[in-house]
Structure 1
Amino acid sequence: MCRGRELLPITCLERAKELKALFGSLLQKSDHTITGQLKKNDKLRLNVNEPLKWKESFEKLICSQNGLCLFRAFLVSEFSEENIAFYLACEDYRATKPSKLATKAKKIYDEFIECDAPHEVNLDHVTKAITKENMEHPSLSCFALAQAKIYTLMEKDCYPRFLRSSTYLELSRKSKTG
């Protein structure tokens, strides 16, 4: 699986709007790439065919910095951003030093899994119970089952809706004609 949390900008919605505008301007460029200004000294290279690759698989979408940002903005618009936030928190957790596992695991559990958590993800009772049991001795894999369930939920439910969204359809149409 890819990691991407550290690649996400602070305000993904603003970034998504900027990306949409940058991809739209690709039609007017002859070399099929454009360099857009993100922050004062931070540049991003965009490729006109990038949105077409996102349709190949959910993995390709979330492994793309731009794709992940637009997908996250889409989830925000659907009020289900907690799914990608949990997935990315688990990816980040798997890179945690052993000395910090317990603290980080509790934070993720409290934010996403516990009943009435601020950003509770939709998990079945059995998965929640297994994850709670895993919390007794946190390891790098204590969220593996829950993360896999959320990944599957996004892949089978959110991802197809993203591919049918007006933003994605517009970007892919521009990519095909660009």
Structure 2
Amino acid sequence: GLATFKSFLRSEFSEENLEFWIACKDYKKTKSPVKMAAKAKKIYEDFIQKEAPKEVNIDHFTKEATIKNLVEISSTSFDLAQKRIHALMEKDSFARFLRSDLYQELKFSLFNVDHGLKF
């Protein structure tokens, strides 16, 4: 399901949202302060900074709050931005995904596996 959703987002040129959300989830699991700092820097450079290669579409307030949170990094440094992106995907992209051919094909294939149907 996740791979299919990512393919859908790629077709809509918005896969950076899911990549950012996953990177933040991984970041929160990090215990080592050194690794946490390295991951925070990479997330910032890849997704937050202006003209980042995979810049996510977050409002100015969220971007500024996230940058301030990076002064003293913690496991919650990206929480606000992650929540905003999650809400964006939930309300916008995921709703379209559920109506897409990709989702219908996934649902059909899972139904057939679950019920042992063979064609």
TM-score, normalised on structure 1? Answer: 0.59
Count of matched residue pairs: 112
Q: CA deviation at 1:106?
A: 1.0
| Structure 2: unaligned runs, 5 residues or longer | none
Structure 1 stretches of 5 or more lacking a match?
1-66
Deviates more, 1:101-110 or 1:166-175: 166-175
Aligned residue number for residue 84 of structure 1:
18
**Partners in 1 of 2:74 and 2:57 — Cα distance?**
22
Q: Which residue of the partner structure matches residue 102 of structure 1?
A: 37
What is the distance in 2 between the residues matched to 1:173 and 1:87? Answer: 27
Higher mean C-alpha displacement, 97-106 vs 149-158: 97-106
Please state which structure has a larger fraction of its residues in strand. Answer: 1
Cα distance in structure 2, aligned partners of 1:120 and 1:142: 17
Q: Which residue of 2 aligns with 1:74?
A: 8
CA distance in 1, matches of 2:37, 2:89: 27
More helix by share: 2
Aligned to 2:90: 155
Identity rate of aligned residues, in percent? 53
Q: 1 CA distance for matches of 2:88 and 2:106?
A: 24
Matched, 1:114 2:79: no
Letter in structure 2 aligned against 1:153? L
Partner of 2:71: 136
SS of the residue 1:112 aligns to:
helix
Q: Deviation of residue 103 (structure 1)?
A: 1.6
Amino acid at match of 2:76: S
Q: CA RMSD in A?
A: 1.6
Runs of 4+ off more than 4 Å: none
SS at match of 1:155: helix
Output the amino acid matched with 2:94: Y
Please state whether the residue corresponding to 1:107 is helix, strand or coil: helix
Q: Distance in 2 between matches of 1:126 and 1:140?
A: 20
Alpha-carbon separation, structure 2, partners of 1:85 and 1:171: 21
Name the CA distance, whole Å, in 2 between partners of 1:157 and 1:82.
14
Displacement, 1:173?
4.3
